[in-house]
Amino acid sequence: AHFASRIESLDTQTNSFITQTLDTAKQHAKTADALRADGDTRPLLGVPMAHKDNLCTQGVLSTCGSKMLHNFVSPYDATVVKNVADAGFISLGKLNMDEFAMGSDNEKSHYGAVHNPWDLSRVPGGSSGGSAAAVAAGFVPVATGSDTGGSIRQPASFCGVTGIKPTYGRVSRYGMIAYASSLDQAGAFGKSALDCAYLLQPMSGHDNKDSTSIAKDVPNWVDEILTARTNDKPLQGLRIGVPSEYFGAGLNDEVATTVKSALKHYEELGATLVDIHLTHPEITLATYYLLAPAEASSNLSRFDGVRFGYRCENPKDLHDLYTRSRSEGFGAEVQRRIIMGTYALSAGYFDAYYVKAQKVRRLIAQDFAKAFESCDVIATPTAPTTAYKIGASLTPAEIYMGDVYTIGVNLAGLPAISHPIGFDKQGLPVGLQLIGNHWQEGKLLSVTDAYQ
């Protein structure tokens, strides 16, 4: 009831929900109370949360932030949605996002911009902007998000919350509406690493319905954090790699200063800083903006006006139905990505662009692997700036630049977390990104917890 009344009275200002399911949630809360009284001991029974709107929910709209899916109700739950409900969580609704998870500011949603709770005239980041804003505003203690190139970490940074993107394959993608399948991974937002662990734990694990999910035991991250807390020097001996390439031109001065003082704090906690080298982030950025749209152009071909969602009025013939449904149903950014991706995949350009980018992707992953020979985690700024104004009219290329520090992680399939480390002079949150080697979510969570 506490969270529901905050949402009812305050989300008119933030617009973090696309669909609220507060009435159903209240019934579920009553059921949870009854189960608890009957001896149900699930620790998370009755805890409120909310899902990003690209996770399919049976019987509840899943719009993916698009007009194309304005009326789409999935006949089944995504595995993540099912897992989280089985753990006892109660969903309060579906959270706003950039259309089809393409964007970094949440201004690309068909359902309106999300306003950053720290300063309502500013963006919350994206594409999981609704998730980050809802946690920052205290509408839910935890929320799901998805991260293809930073969509959990960058909004976590802009909204002063913690957000973790797990290793590719840790969380099932079944029922998560695909953007770029080889990069997409769902993860968790919370105020702290411990809160993230509570949600990420049930989300994770092998799923027969997703051939890219990996059959690997999921450690008990909550226990790992709590055990680390009994150690009074938990970071003693931890080697934190700092890549000089991630502190160059384009990084805002105040963000750089805040990140440097956070690194100093890590040293005080017992960690050692190590110089490392990674692929230059601008090369990584170019690789991502070739591969992600290529995969998107293929994934989004299923939205043809016939099988799902939006259909144009009075089509002349089948071709007109396809063309107008897609032109009217998709927003400008999504159309831009489809065109870029189709171009990169077209005969004649495929080898020069797509195949080349795949080779660079391999080199980027190798550079990370090499870096992890001399450090345990890597620290970088999460984003080059803090939250900018809604309507700042940045060009697409300027917005893409905001993803320079986050996308390498997705290309290499690594886990990474963003946690708040302070504020700039305008009082806007700054985040630090920690990147781990494959399957090292536990380390990222407990290192973050030691800082927090």
Q: Identify the active-site residue in 16, 52, 94, 172.
A: 52
Q: How far is the CB of 199 from ligand GLN (least distance, A)?
A: 18
The two structure tokens encoding residue 273: 């800083």
Q: How far is the CB of 291 from ligand GLN (least distance, A)?
A: 10
Nearer to ligand GLN, 106 or 446 (CB): 106
DSSP letter, residue 249: T
Nearer to ligand GLN, 129 or 243 (CB): 129
Contacts of residue 67, Cβ cutoff 8 Å, sequence gap at least 6: 110, 310, 328, 329, 330, 331
Nearer to ligand GLN, 151 or 172 (CB): 151
The yes-or-no answer on residue 325 being catalytic is no
Calculate Rg over the CA atoms of the chain.
Answer: 21
Alpha carbon distances (Å) from 451 to 231, 233, 263, 422: 13, 11, 10, 12
Extract the runs of DSSP E, i.e. beta strands, from 101-250.
Answer: 142-147, 162-165, 185-190, 239-243
DSSP letter, residue 328: H
Q: How far is the CB of 148 from ligand GLN (least distance, A)?
A: 4
Q: Where are the alpha helices (DSSP H) in 121-232?
A: 129-136, 153-159, 193-203, 221-229
Q: Identify the active-site residue in 62, 74, 127, 297.
A: 127
Please say whether the beta carbons of 189 and 166 come within 8 A.
no
Q: How far is the CB of 24 from ligand GLN (least distance, A)?
A: 28
- 3 state SS of 368: helix
Q: How far is the CB of 337 from ligand GLN (least distance, A)?
A: 8
Nearer to ligand GLN, 235 or 292 (CB): 292
The yes-or-no answer on residue 127 being catalytic is yes
Residue nearest to ligand GLN (CB): 151
Rounded Cα–Cα distance for residues 252 and 126 (Å): 19
Q: Identify the active-site residue in 91, 109, 131, 151.
A: 151
**Which residues contribute to the site for ligand GLN (CB under 6 A)?**
101-104, 127, 147-151, 179, 292, 403
Nearer to ligand GLN, 266 or 405 (CB): 405
| Among 4, 17, 27, CA closest to 51 | 17
Q: How far is the CB of 336 from ligand GLN (least distance, A)?
A: 10
| Among 435, 390, 379, 431, CA closest to 412 | 435
Nearer to ligand GLN, 150 or 442 (CB): 150
Q: 125 in the Ramachandran plot: left (φ > 0), alpha (ψ -120 to 50) or beta? A: left
Q: How many residues does the chain have?
A: 452
The yes-or-no answer on residue 244 being catalytic is no
Nearer to ligand GLN, 210 or 449 (CB): 210
Q: How far is the CB of 102 from ligand GLN (least distance, A)?
A: 5
Please say whether the beta carbons of 69 and 310 come within 8 A.
yes
| Among 192, 113, 177, 111, CA closest to 146 | 177
Question: Active-site residues: which are they?
Answer: 52, 127, 151
